[in-house]
Amino acid sequence: MSVTVGTVAPDFTLKDQSQKEVKLSDFAGKKNVVLMFYPLDWSPVCTNEHACMVNDMKSFETLDAEILGVSVDSVWSHKAYAEKMGIHYSLLADFQPRGAMAEKYGVYLPEKGITGRSIIIVGKDGKVAWIKNYDIPVLPDLKEVASALEKVKTAAA
């Protein structure tokens, strides 16, 4: 099952690289959430994607957004990866059961055992506001994501 724009985003609770539980519903009414689904820590395109996000964090903070990276990697892999990459936003471990959260969003690829590359913006109202799926070797255009986020922020104002 995949989500569509306008539907309520499925809630979840996953641990981040600091073993902290992160719940989507905790952001309701407070911040827009950018769910950045990616296949695996340490892979070349994912590393580029996160490097770009780290470099663009200031612009995303001004857009009143919380960035949540999501992959099937373990908390420990995320911890090492975040430290190496200088990532200060949450990397969520959709590890056990593997891909269960990504499955709710329609971006888990069971035949490969990984999460597809996708960015989903959830508005403060808890509804899916924007979706973009990418081929695995394609680096998302973060300017396009920021532009979509600006529209979500403006529409909610």
The catalytic residue positions are 46
With left for phi above 0 and alpha for psi between -120 and 50, is residue 85 left, alpha or beta?
Answer: alpha
Q: Are 108 and 134 in contact (CB under 8 A)?
A: no
Whether cis (ω within 30° of 0) applies to the bond prior to 97 is yes
Is residue 63 a contact partner of residue 150, using CB atoms and an 8 Å limit?
A: yes
Q: How far is CA 105 from the centre of its chain?
A: 11
